[in-house]
Amino acid sequence: MKKKLTYLFFKLDYRDKDKSSRKKLIGILTGYLTVNSLLAMNYFLAFEYMSYAILSFTVNIFLLSFLVLNDFQNLFFAKSQTELLRVLPLKTEDIFLSKMISAFLYLSLITLVCAVPQTIFFYFYEYSIIKSLVFIFENFLFVLSSVILILLIFSVLILRTPRKSNSFIYVFQFMFLVFVMYSSSYATRAKFQSSQTILNSRFTEFLPQKYFALSLDNFWFILISIAVIFVLVLIFYLLLRNNYVKMSDIIFGLEDLKRKKRTFRIFSGFHNITSKIFLGNNLERASYNLVRNQFLHSRTFKIRYVPLTFIPLVFCLIGIFMESQKYLVFSESSENGILNTGFIILTPSIVMTMIMCSRLMVTNTKIADENSDNAEWIYGVLPIDDKKMFLRGVLKFIYINLLLPMIAGSFIILLFKISFLPLFLNLLYMVSAMFFVNSLFLLFDNKYPFSLKASKYNSTSRLIEVFLMALIGAVFFIGQIFIFQNIVFILIAIILIFGASILISKK
């Protein structure tokens, strides 16, 4: 029965009404393979093999944690699937195990695609097949143990403090993002210092991936890592075997709990002003208020947006506490002066991160949560005569309520290390880039808000979009190097980008 249920979950997860599921899956995995090959090559050329292993493990857990933190409910519970199966004469343990196996096989597939190019490059350090096999094995163990640890924390929070679990999850997401990005920043710092290792820092001693990497040279660490994963799997299994139904009811019942509605005049007044000034017609108001109400009342929707709002702020905070300003400010130069700029510019990591998050915020509005599935048919019976105008209301909600506070927060944080005028010009340039990118994508956008089913395809396709936005962000950053020669060039470029964005958005 477990085998049949697992196969059923796989069929449900990977079915696609519009395209061949196999082609779509191959496309997603190819994107992962390409990007991780480039990252692995970059680390291989810059670092010694132990640092390479630590950084490879860090990249993988960043990608996998992105999936787990944003799609925890869909990956491991899936309300629509489990509710239908629970009315059948099936054991809860069979449903639970089949769903877990389906989820972990999916995560293992993503990990394998990430680990293969990393292992190939790792082989060329010492040309040792045995060490390469240990590398990929420990890579899997580290990712798997990290994901299970995240799930254990989530599970305990949901069981112990169901009404407050959202707040704790927000805090956990923020702390986890700080940890992953701070550990990733050591690669950048090592490059700035022309170092081939990240092991010189004391902070490395606190990275769990370091101890998994030590297994490459120490057999005892292999045994310890196996013991760790065994204990975590056992605890996780025992916890969820007895609480799976209870947790599922808590997770999907929180949306229906009656809460006291508290309205603050300052926020209601801001909403009224926004509606009058920035929303031009009823279609924009309808879509704006649709996303606003979903954001206010959907627990799942809020959890999706917390990481996207925090990621740029975390980058800025890390830069503030770094000893060198090079983490925040791009300072590469060359003898012929081609890379010298008249105004300082922020590092590509900040530029690409903000552009990436701005686009993912829009993408997240397309995917329904478990309590509002199959909503696409509603739009067919509504009098929406201009889809683009309707979607512009969604963009305006993102700009006003999410992007502007994120930019303002970044501005306040970075003011501690960067002077006002260059920082203002940098952020204004980034805002123009975000506006242009989202306006350009609007030309090809044909999906209404919350019309896509929450599935593994839609989760992984967002990670492909992360890589695409990184490339687009790199283009804007390269352009910024040449634009930020003097203030006249900067202002002309910003005006042109904003002007082009407005023209594109009105087509």
| C-alpha dist (Å) from residue 217 to 118, 145, 390 | 18, 20, 59
Q: Within 10 Å of residue 487's Cβ, how many Cβ atoms?
A: 13
Q: Which of 254, 285, 307 is the last residue of a domain?
A: 254
Where is 256: in which H helix or E strand?
none
Which residues, including other chains, have CB under 8 Å from residue 29's CB and lie 6 or more apart?
109, 110, 113
DSSP assignment of 203-238: GGGG-HHHHHHGGGT-HHHHHHHHHHHHHHHHHHHH
- The answer to whether 157 and 168 are in contact (CB under 8 A) is yes
Residue 371 lies in a domain: yes
What total number of domains does the chain contain? 2
Q: Residues 230, 280: one domain?
A: no
pLDDT at 464: 66
Look at residue 333 in the predicted model and tell me its pLDDT: 41
Is residue 279 domain-shared with residue 352, that is, in the same domain?
Answer: yes
Residue 259, in any domain of the structure: no
Q: What CA–CA distance (Å, rounded) separates 158 from 92?
A: 19
Place of tokens 């290792």: 197
**At 239, is the secondary structure helix, strand, or coil?**
helix
pLDDT of residue 424: 92
pLDDT computed for residue 425 by the predictor: 92
User: What's the confidence (pLDDT) of residue 68?
Assistant: 72
Q: Would you say residue 365 lies in a domain?
A: yes
User: What's the pLDDT at 216?
Assistant: 87
281 inside domain: yes
Is there a contact between 360 and 462 (Cβ–Cβ < 8 Å)? yes
C-beta neighbour count of 427 within 10 angstroms? 18
Report if residue 469 sits inside a domain.
yes
The whole-number pLDDT of residue 496 equals 93
What pLDDT is stored for residue 15 in this prediction? 56
pLDDT at 257: 47
Question: 227-265: buried (b, 16+ CB within 10 Å) or exposed (e) per residue?
Answer: ebbeebeeebeebbeebbeebbeebbebeeeeeeeeeee
Cα(402)–Cα(274) distance, rounded to whole angstroms? Answer: 14
Question: 473 and 388, same structural domain?
Answer: yes
Are both 343 and 275 inside the same structural domain?
Answer: yes
Which residues of the chain are under the pLDDT cut of 70?
A: 1-3, 6-25, 27-28, 31, 66, 69-74, 78-93, 163-196, 201, 203, 251-272, 275, 299, 322-327, 331-342, 369-375, 377, 453-464, 507
**Same structural domain for residues 346 and 221?**
no
In a domain, 462, yes or no: yes
Do 268 and 248 fall within a single domain? no
Q: Are residues 330 and 204 in the same domain?
A: no
**Domain end among 196, 224, 254:** 254
Asked if residue 88 and residue 215 are part of one domain, the reply reads: yes
Phi then psi dihedrals of residue 372, to 5 deg? -140, 45
Clarify whether residues 48 and 120 are in a common domain.
yes
Q: Residue 2 falls within a domain, yes or no? A: yes
Q: Assess whether 325 and 461 both reside in one domain.
A: yes
Q: Domain ends where: 229, 254, 279?
A: 254
Q: Is the residue at 65 inside a domain?
A: yes
Regarding whether 219 and 118 lie in a shared domain, the answer is: yes
- Which pTM value belongs to this model? 0.67
Q: Do 301 and 172 belong together in one domain?
A: no
Spatial CA neighbour of 118 closest among 44, 25, 195: 44
Using alpha carbons, select from 447, 453, 295 the residue that is nearest to residue 373. Answer: 453
Tell me the chain's radius of gyration from C-alpha atoms.
24
Q: Can you tell me the distance from the alpha carbon of 110 to that of 461, in angstroms, rounded to the nearest whole number?
A: 12
Domain ranges, residue 322: 264-507
